[in-house]
Copies of this chain bind each other. A is one copy, B any other.
Amino acid sequence: MEIKIRKNVLDRNQNKANEVRKLLRAKQVLMVNIISSPGAGKTSLLERTLENLKGKFRIGVIEGDITTDRDAQRLKIHDVPIIVINTEGGCHLDSHSISKVLPEFDLDHLDVLFVENVGNLVCPSHFDLGETFKLAVVSTTEGDDKPIKYPMLFRESKAVLLNKIDLIEYTNFSKAAFNADMSKVNGNVPVFEVSCTRNIGMEKWYNWISEQIKYVIQNKL
């Protein structure tokens, strides 16, 4: 019985996600669903990325948080539209909450919408938000075994950011082990080795995400 209930919830989420995806496609807006453990660096990534891209593209942000607006406060200085969704205990965003806040953005004049999901390597992977693609963020300090232990996110993501690369020397993180597991789980995605805090390796990420945005908006007025 439980499985059936879960299926209903997922079905309803999927239907709404399909609507969101259709709308965003019509408006030629790229939506990135950013997923990681708590504290892996999603907000730091957004800080750097907004700084770099905001002169080139029209950006919006949805901040998913259980409670508080702390992450949104950190991004405020970049002067892009930000909506906070507090899940009030919920462990992931869903397509209904995204659908509800979309009208608050001027989608006709937006190129990319970054969604920072709740910090959680498990549940957000199960809920399609209508995004163009998922982005996995993982940090060296979490250990090299995350792709094999939490495979769903890494299997579903279009790219992986390996953050806190500056701290790797203080950990027992093995790049060889990480890459071996990644290639078992999903061998076809780029892995960007970066430090958002120390601004290392970010150019390749900026170039890649810019290409993704351009691909979506290429025929937009």
Residues of the B chain whose Cβ atoms lie less than 8 Å from the Cβ of A145: 70
Whether A100 sits at the interface, judged by CB under 8 Å, is no
Residues of the B chain whose Cβ atoms lie less than 8 Å from the Cβ of A167: 141, 167, 170-171
State the oligomeric state as a number of copies.
Answer: 2
Interface residues on chain A, size class: 35 or more
A182-207 with Cβ < 8 A to chain B: 197
Q: How many Å lie between the Cα of A121 and that of B40 in the bound state?
A: 13
Q: How many Å lie between the Cα of A146 and that of B120 in the bound state?
A: 12
Q: Are A141 and B120 in contact (CB under 8 A)?
A: no
Q: Are B139 and A66 in contact (CB under 8 A)?
A: no
Whether A9 sits at the interface, judged by CB under 8 Å, is yes
Pick out which of these stretches binds chain B: A18-26, A48-56, A77-85, A149-157: A149-157
Residues of the B chain whose Cβ atoms lie less than 8 Å from the Cβ of A148: 67-68, 70
| Shortest beta-carbon contacts, A-B, top 4 | A39-B142, A141-B141, A91-B122, A39-B143
Q: How many Å lie between the Cα of A198 and that of B67 in the bound state?
A: 34
